[in-house]
Structure 1
Amino acid sequence: MKFHTMGTDEQRYAFSKPLCITSALLSLIVLSLIWLGISQRISTERDQAVEAAMLANSNLTIAFEQDIFRTFKAAEQVAAFVREGYLKHGAAPDLQQWVRQHVIREDMFTIISVVDEHGTIIASSQDTSPTVNYADRDFFLAQRSNTQDTLFISRPVLGRVSGEWRIPLSLRISRPDGSFAGVVVMAINPAYLTNFYRQANLGANGLLEVTGLDGYTRGRKIGNQISFDQDAHALSWFTRRTSAPTGNFKDDADIDGITRIISYRTLGDYPLMAVVGTSYDEAVAAHRHRRTAYLLVASALSVLILCFAASLILAMSRQRAITLALQASKAKLVHAARHDPLTGLPNRVLFQERCLRAMEAARRHDTLAAILYLDLDGFKEVNDCYGHATGDDLLQQVALRLAQHVRAASEDTVARFGGDEFGIVLNHLASQDDGKHIILHILAAMSQPFTLDGAEVRISASIGAVLYPTHGADLNTLIGKADTAMYTAKHAGKNRFAWWTAARRQTG
């Protein structure tokens, strides 16, 4: 039971546990209902905001996928047209004239070339150096071994004709016998792939990305920043693609520390995937404004309920204050009457009660109980040398060490009689040797050094011991015999113990 003072000593409140628990439970139920409702509302609105963002992103990804498909399908058609002209006439077409005459009208391709089986450019929509050779380029090597008539979409490279970063797109040229005759290659600016960003409202931190299934981006745009040929193997949408070709999820800041809602789709006709991402914070911004309002309302209601509950408890507790204060004072007096004020150990009165309890248990269970009388060796010298305050510190350390070396599970008791004398009762002993074993441990503990104000001090103990019922059945007689045995141990050289015997000689 706790007493809280407010103002003067007369203004005390004694809190009843049942009252506090009942009031707390009722308040907790009401508060739980309020906060549960608010939490569910907040969670529902957040989930709805995320779901709406995922749906919007999913629709944008479909549109983005179609935009990418149209781009590469147009490239494939132009390449097939150039290849057909080359194979039909058996000579390289004049691609520059085709561009001027608008035979080739796609302006997204910065350059279109026909390359023979040796990697030499034999026709181009731009003037090219005769020393330029593509035999070592990935697109050329891929098409040379390609047995399918498919468009190869290379990773971005630094163009040998334009001197700028471009994505080569190539189509194989095969002779009638199927042998390799070269490639039609065209180049596209990586930034062109993310022009869709201007059509989509992705916010300040939106993400638009085209990634090859080889794990490298063909184009990426985040806000106004454009990049390409980035390693995407570790990105969550790339790793998810292996198990799900399309998907929507919340991404934990894989790229730049910004959490986004991601939608992705794998293209069916080309080895690419389209990725659209919007900022999670932007998606839930409106929800967060409402969330703040909900929390303020819930907090205000919580404060009102808690204030009402506290007022009720205080009002009902004041009438119990005086009675409980008197009970507490009585309990303190009872404790003080049965415990040593310096060490907190039981005093002689409580020790005797514990001894009687131990004797009754020994009688009932046909076991033994031991009563020990302990006197410190060398305590007076410490007191004289260091002063009474240090002596009190030593007695407190001795009390703690003694309490640590008796058996708590057996309800052994350590008490202080006064000065440097202590009593110990050992319960439930099977034999005299059991008591001896414990006593030797206590002696060993007492012989270890004590630290007093930074100085190391050594003392020891002399212990007298008696057994119930072996050495008697009267408590006062047994304590007197233990006292006598203690002097026997002290006269025998100290730092030892002695069982009581009529001859006073049995020491250990």
Structure 2
Amino acid sequence: MSTEPRYVCTKRLCLTSASLCLIVLTFIWAVIQHRISIERTQEVDAALRANSNLTIAFEQNISRTLKAAEQVAAFVREGYLLQGTAPDLHRWVRDSVIREGMFTIISVVDEHGQIIASSQDIPTTVNYADRDFFLAQRDNTLDTLFISRPVLGRVSGAWRIPLSLRISRPDGSFGGVVVIAIDPTNLTSFYRQTNLGAHGLLEVTGLDGYTRGRKIGDQISFNQDARALPWFTRRSTAPTGNFVDQGEIDGISRVISYRTLHGYPLMAVVGTAYDEAVAATQHRRTVYLFAASLLSALILSLTIGLTLAMARQRAITQALQASKIQLAHAARHDPLTGLPNRVLFQERCLRSLESARRHRTLAAILYLDLDGFKEVNDRYGHATGDALLQQAAQRLTQQVRASSEDTVARFGGDEFAIMLDGLLTQKDGEQIILNILTALSQPFTLDGAEARISASIGAVLYPLHGTDLNTLIGQADTAMYAAKNAGKNQFAWGTAAEPNNYKAEMAAS
């Protein structure tokens, strides 16, 4: 019977294990919740930025429409004042003197509200003296465009937004108005150029608090009271803004961006449904929670297993720990050279690319193939070939920067890969590549025999040649073959760059 001492699961040991397990689980769930919160905030911020840009474009679209209307009205007014008689607007439209198709009706109304000219046939009995667009211009001493609330046309029977410009006689007295009618749906036609989702909001609201046009999904409305809506109340203190509302219109919370138009008493509003904006985050949240649950179950199982394992012999525990370390190292390192393998190299590349993105630096990936290695291997045998690979690995390691996060890896055979981290210029990377070519072109001493090889290197720069790791490695591989086909012992930058002749470069230096 063995007399080796064994650990027993004492009360103190069990409590310690349980406490550590609880701390780890609390940490994991706190990190998961924090990550979910951060990603949700990032998604909302991205939606706010996107909507803010859309609102600027929307504002410009509305302004162009209004400026076109103002120009047409001013043109008609000028023709009327110069001729002294009502212009033939029918002929002007027919002859394309007026080409704006969005303006459904263009009319000249005298100081009594009577229509004296129109682009359409309108009964002489129609009088506009009681319309807001007429009354506002009658008392308007400034030459500004009045944008009326939508009204039901007395002739067309359709809802239209009248836009009017005052006609002033030479003595300054009121001489009537030029009025242009536009379809309210034209103001929200910008929606067709955007992707705001199924519950997206596009709205044009007058500073009087009433909408000139609103589109939610496929539903169009206008002349709605918007005075109590949060973007309208905010506008009094902030002409532009971005925020998340609580669904005051229809119960759907939205990411809102609004702007007050320059030169016109209107505001443009763009909104996307909050749930649609964070849909990707919600999907990841489900994945995170599922993963955290599995991880928690795994940790609980491991805690129980570890607690039982700690009751075993110290030698067995130490042997298991040593075995784990060795297995972890073997899974990520090349057994011949001790260099990182493809798995570890990709992990480090991802970290380097992320660091380069955050710090706005460059990172280079080199794909290297030894020229002449097969001949050495065939001539002297595999053992000598392995020794050559080990020496080549040492030389490559000596050429990268010890003070950086540069990584040298072996992918297999005579193929190596190098990550150059935190480069400031492309020239910095080229100098390291030239040093590598020089180092590998020096003779190798193998069991008393001298062997010479060289290298063909394909190189890419992040982000100049791409941002995806697999794409970068693939381009570097392609560039390596370009360098090999161009004569070997040289390197090529990416698929869009011409191979750089190393021999010529060395001769010039």
TM-score (norm 2): 0.57
Q: Which of 295, 304, 308 is residue 289 of structure 2 equivalent to?
A: 295
Instruction: Within 5 Å, give how 1:358-507 maps onto structure 2.
Output: none
Q: Which of 27, 34, 38 is residue 28 of structure 2 equivalent to?
A: 34
Identity of aligned residues (%): 76
The alpha-carbon deviation at position 307 of structure 1 amounts to 4.7
SS of match in other structure, 1:128: coil
Find the aligned partners of 2:25 and 2:101 in 1 and give their Cα distance. Answer: 66
Residue 184 of structure 2 is aligned to residue 207 of structure 1: no
Find the aligned partners of 1:76 and 1:96 in 2 and give their Cα distance. Answer: 19
Aligned to 1:109: 103
Find the aligned partners of 2:169 and 2:101 in 1 and give their Cα distance. Answer: 29
The alpha-carbon deviation at position 306 of structure 1 amounts to 3.6
Aligned to 1:271: 265
Q: Which of 132, 154, 157 is residue 148 of structure 2 equivalent to?
A: 154
Find the aligned partners of 1:169 and 1:146 in 2 and give their Cα distance. Answer: 14
The alpha-carbon deviation at position 169 of structure 1 amounts to 0.3
Find the aligned partners of 2:18 and 2:86 in 1 and give their Cα distance. Answer: 91
Find the aligned partners of 1:51 and 1:244 in 2 and give their Cα distance. Answer: 19
Q: Letter of the aligned partner of 2:286 in structure 1?
A: T
Count, aligned residues: 303
SS of match in other structure, 1:110: strand
Instruction: Within 5 Å, give how 1:64-463 maps onto structure 2.
Output: 64-307=58-301
Find the aligned partners of 2:19 and 2:232 in 1 and give their Cα distance. Answer: 51
The alpha-carbon deviation at position 305 of structure 1 amounts to 3.0
Q: What 5-or-longer segments of structure 2 have no aligned partner?
A: 1-9, 311-509
SS of match in other structure, 1:229: coil
The alpha-carbon deviation at position 312 of structure 1 amounts to 8.2
- 1:363-419 per-residue CA deviation (whole Å, 9 max, x = no partner) reads xxxxxxxxxxxxxxxxxxxxxxxxxxxxxxxxxxxxxxxxxxxxxxxxxxxxxxxxx
User: Which of structure 1's runs of 4+ aligned residues deviate more than 4 A?
Assistant: 18-24, 307-316
Give the 3 Å change call, closer, same or farther, for CA 40–145 of structure 1 in structure 2. same
SS of match in other structure, 1:57: helix
Find the aligned partners of 1:59 and 1:246 in 2 and give their Cα distance. Answer: 12
The root-mean-square deviation of aligned C-alpha atoms, in Å, is 2.3
Find the aligned partners of 1:232 and 1:221 in 2 and give their Cα distance. Answer: 14
Q: Which of 44, 50, 61 is residue 44 of structure 2 equivalent to?
A: 50
- 1:89-119 per-residue CA deviation (whole Å, 9 max, x = no partner) reads 1111111111111111111111011111111
Which segment is superposed worse, 171-180 or 26-35? 26-35
The alpha-carbon deviation at position 289 of structure 1 amounts to 1.6
Q: Letter of the aligned partner of 1:302 in structure 2?
A: S
Find the aligned partners of 1:27 and 1:216 in 2 and give their Cα distance. Answer: 60
Find the aligned partners of 2:198 and 2:26 in 1 and give their Cα distance. Answer: 39
- 1:427-478 per-residue CA deviation (whole Å, 9 max, x = no partner) reads xxxxxxxxxxxxxxxxxxxxxxxxxxxxxxxxxxxxxxxxxxxxxxxxxxxx
The alpha-carbon deviation at position 308 of structure 1 amounts to 5.2
The alpha-carbon deviation at position 162 of structure 1 amounts to 1.1
The alpha-carbon deviation at position 128 of structure 1 amounts to 0.8
Aligned to 1:494: none
- 1:464-498 per-residue CA deviation (whole Å, 9 max, x = no partner) reads xxxxxxxxxxxxxxxxxxxxxxxxxxxxxxxxxxx
The alpha-carbon deviation at position 152 of structure 1 amounts to 0.3
Aligned to 2:323: none
Find the aligned partners of 1:236 and 1:76 in 2 and give their Cα distance. Answer: 30
SS of match in other structure, 1:258: coil
TM-score (norm 1): 0.57
Find the aligned partners of 2:236 and 2:14 in 1 and give their Cα distance. Answer: 58
Find the aligned partners of 1:101 and 1:149 in 2 and give their Cα distance. Answer: 28
SS of match in other structure, 2:179: strand
Q: Letter of the aligned partner of 1:233 in structure 2?
A: R
SS of match in other structure, 1:210: strand
Which segment is superposed worse, 246-255 or 101-110? 246-255
Larger radius of gyration: 1
The alpha-carbon deviation at position 265 of structure 1 amounts to 0.7
Find the aligned partners of 1:93 and 1:264 in 2 and give their Cα distance. Answer: 40
Q: Letter of the aligned partner of 2:197 in structure 1?
A: G
The alpha-carbon deviation at position 130 of structure 1 amounts to 1.1
